[in-house]
């Protein structure tokens, strides 16, 4: 695991709050863009950028807080709290975080790998929840296509996270993390 900020420091608290806000804004933007994508349930995973950054900069616990709170804020803002979309988003976020947190323990896996693994876990969880809601396995027919899209989107989000982490002054020795 890469060195992270101390989870109780004022910088870490401010960073987590900022990442929750960024994740929520990206999630709301993504919700607004959803009608433009012709495949049901497909999203780009933009809000996951905040979670990957939290995992890299502040650690697993902070990343879980960012993930859960951004899902809650988006659900409140879009009116989906308690509905099927919320259940799918929450299950995807939890599974995505769990896989990324596990991958972050492996020194051989970079933030790009975390993101791709998280995207695949997110899709798998959402298809499982959709299958439970419909009472059939039909949603799993979307798995090959959805996982292919998750690979592409996970690579883009992971590479973006890699670029941001490598360029943030917060990570310099001057600020105490690296």
CATH number for position 50: 1.10.1760.20
The residue among 87, 82, 65 whose CA lies nearest residue 20 is 65
What is the tally of structural domains in the chain? 1
* DSSP single-letter state for residue 59: -
- pLDDT confidence of residue 100: 97
- Token pair of 157 as six digits: 């989000």
pLDDT at residue number 64: 97
- Asked whether residue 5 is assigned to any structural domain, the reply reads no
Rg (CA), the chain: 16
Ranges of residues in the chain with a pLDDT under 70 are 1-7, 35-41, 169-178
Domain-located, residue 1: no
Q: Is 56 helix (H, G, I), strand (E, B) or coil?
A: helix
Task: Determine, yes or no, domain membership for 135.
Answer: yes
Q: What are the tens digits of pLDDT across the range 110-151?
A: 999 999 999 999 999 999 999 999 999 999 998 999 999 999
**Is 18 inside a domain boundary?**
yes
Domain membership flag for residue 102 = yes
SS3 92: helix
Position 2 in a domain:
no
Please give the residue range of the domain that contains residue 171: 10-175
Q: Quick check: 49 and 99 in contact, CB under 8 A?
A: no
pLDDT of residue 45: 87
Overall pTM > 0.75: yes
Is residue 107 in a domain? Answer: yes
Dist CA 105 CA 93 (whole Å): 19
């Amino acid at each position: 695991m890469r060195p992270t900020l101390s989870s109780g420091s004022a910088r870490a608290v401010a960073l987590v709050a900022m990442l929750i806000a960024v994740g929520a804004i990206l999630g709301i933007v993504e919700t607004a863009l959803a009608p433009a994508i012709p495949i049901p349930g497909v999203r780009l995973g933009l809000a996951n950028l905040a979670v990957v950054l939290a995992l890299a900069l502040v650690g697993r616990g902070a990343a879980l807080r960012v993930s859960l709170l951004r899902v809650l804020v988006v659900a409140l803002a879009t009116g989906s709290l308690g509905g099927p979309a919320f259940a799918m988003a929450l299950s995807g976020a939890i599974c995505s975080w769990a896989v990324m947190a596990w991958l972050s323990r492996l020194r051989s896996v970079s933030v790009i790998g975390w993101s791709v693994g998280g995207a695949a876990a997110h899709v798998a969880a959402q298809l499982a929840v959709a299958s439970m809601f419909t009472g059939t396995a039909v949603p799993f027919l979307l798995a090959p296509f959805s996982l292919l899209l998750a690979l592409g989107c996970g690579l883009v989000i992971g590479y973006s996270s890699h670029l941001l982490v490598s360029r943030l002054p917060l990570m310099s020795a001057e600020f105490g993390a690296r």
